[in-house]
Amino acid sequence: MRSLAYISLAALMLASAPVIAEDGSAPEIVFVEGTGTEGADAPIASPVVDTGASEKMTKFAQRLDDPAMQDSIAAMVEGMSGMMLSLPVGKFAGAIEKARPGAVKDSIPDDATLADLAGPDAEAIPARLGDESRNLMSMMSGFAQAFAGMIPEFEAIARDIEESVKKARRK
């Protein structure tokens, strides 16, 4: 059920968009002096550290774990997948067969939909995808919460690397 994972991942990305830009700001790329290839004597730039990153990641995790957010994403996934299942594919299959005889192995009626090709359980697919999107968002919430706890350690590592580079340059 690989397609389920792809659709769930797309739903997660859509869910994260309003979270990231919730305060009206957009992430910026910051170019810092001294980070290019000017030469060995160029000044070392301090790393740009977002001290609120851990808090932002925690808020993101909370939004992912919010049942109302999960329900809205699940409803969107269910609606989109239901709509996709009703897509007529029979005429496309016929056109492919005309262009490349033998490419379409089965005889597909002109009025066939994607649900017809998916089989007798097709009507259950949207609900399953919705449920799986909820599960994925819960799992991603746990990951985001764990990552939020790691951010201070990453910041400390960045400071240690900066100090090591400064010491190496002084030698």
What is the per-residue pLDDT across 93-128, written as a single tens digit (0 to 9) for each? 888 888 988 888 778 888 999 999 888 899 999 999
Q: How many domains does the chain have?
A: 1
Kindly tell me if the per-residue pLDDT of 65 is higher than 60. yes
What is the per-residue pLDDT across 124-156, written as a single tens digit (0 to 9) for each? 999 999 999 999 999 999 998 888 888 888 888
Task: Give Cβ neighbours of residue 77 (< 8 Å, ≥ 6 apart).
Answer: 7, 8, 11, 126, 129, 130, 133
**46 domain residue, yes or no:** no
**69 domain residue, yes or no:** yes
- For residue 146, give its domain range: 2-21+55-170
